[in-house]
Structure 1
């Protein structure tokens, strides 16, 4: 699909991309200023492998202030993006024969990381009627003596699923009955929660499970800093130290200037986040209404993140039952999306509404025309 999009652009075609999970806002000015000041100060050398002391302190502040997780800077690792932190947590703990429960539809990299480490992916299917959340009983039915992780993303990519506190407490009861199971809690989209309720995360709700939870965060989605490549993780010290050993022998430290920018992001003003969240909510409502008005398409209202996971089951016979063909058809009509099957789903596609209302409106017009 990427190749075909490049071919179409080379032919002079106008392609709107709704496939990238990246905020379209400018990085805050005070963050840019901190990056420039870092360079002017000659901050261009190696740092400590697990991050500068200043950033680990700022990250500990962030985990407590924004996620309600009291942690020590020694239990924080700074990585080159949240993806690296996830990868290190899995590679530090998963061996051949181990099982990792991954709710589906899933973010595309979760199962690939597990397979790379030699583990077995155990899909846990979720559905639109449940807002793409699994129930505790579903989780318990899949746990075996070989299970060592369950991955829990809230708000989730690609569905926008948000797990409320009461559901997380039910999941915690299951975990208490299975002490070998750890939780990889991906909270990177925590600032983009449209429920009106405070963000709920397992490490905050259940401190007795803290030694079994690794929480992932960062500045990419919250502060429009995807290109800076800074991720954060906190968890039990033995795990964070093991992740540090992997980082030491693979990439080394994250970029020094990016770390200085991240300090400014975490310690600086946070009030703009509410305005960004409201803008995303308005875009979400526009997209949901337009999609549900197109014959053959439907989507639930995502409760977080900036994605709609769209069902196109009534149309799939036209595309031979292959949602990749559907995605290519939309691409031929000027809109790039990602097929549901890329996320362990089927019969549909994901779009990102991290674009202006004008761009979204034109993309939705093209989608409607393509399927008419």
Structure 2
């Protein structure tokens, strides 16, 4: 196999996402060469990613690149790469909170972070946003615990919990929770809230499109008129938020909110952005929670009894996600706390063609 290069990797499920985890030192230093390798590894450019290890879906065509910290106070760096499925391209503009839940365990097993008692806190520097997120990993007896009794909707079975604390959940891309300076405005005559929390989003009430916000993901995806309208609004939202022309970017992400059907706080439909997420992105849930702290936002206006600390239950297409919003001692801004799970699925090496 002289024409192939073996690159060590670990395939991991993080929350409701899945993808290979690499040490930064095992990938090319040059960003263009690195992205070319990731495109080949994942099989990008084919709807099934048949010639690679991607899953043919945006939720399973994700890559995590882990290395030593470049920000003070962090334990590791985490660079997230969204490898597009049908287009041979890599997008580093978003971040992924679900994949984040597997960063701590990967970093510990890679020898980047020592185990510190029965629970180990890993301070993860998300290179995409410059933010630090704390991940608390179960490490009883000096070993990582993957099996447990925690359950998250969208993933079968049970696993050990991973607790994420988004203590810097403001301005992932623009540096501002309200990039346009207002919690509510209109685009094409429809009220929206443009929020930049853990990720930039455009929040819209489902009823503005004649929807409930509890529709199955496939039904929303098949509604071409609705999807076209949503995309046109998203493009305008991106320009207003200072993100430029977002036609080829996945940011901002559209979010529909509606009345809950199963006892939750809100019904939420998160778009990736050209398809409805089959569950809910962690960064999307965190940003909805931050929007709840703004009384005049679309989310805050629907929650007149919101008080800190507050537990929110967000209904999504395959169940519910709970988030807690609280003001840490001595902090001026709220933090958002989420429980996820992860699993180490496969370890070895992926084979890439040798470039001359």
Interval containing the TM-score (normalised by the shorter chain) = under 0.3
Q: TM-score scaled to structure 2, two decimals?
A: 0.22
Q: Which has the larger radius of gyration?
A: 1
Bigger RCO (CA 8 Å, 6+ sep): 1
In terms of fraction of residues, the more helix-rich structure is 1
In terms of fraction of residues, the more strand-rich structure is 2
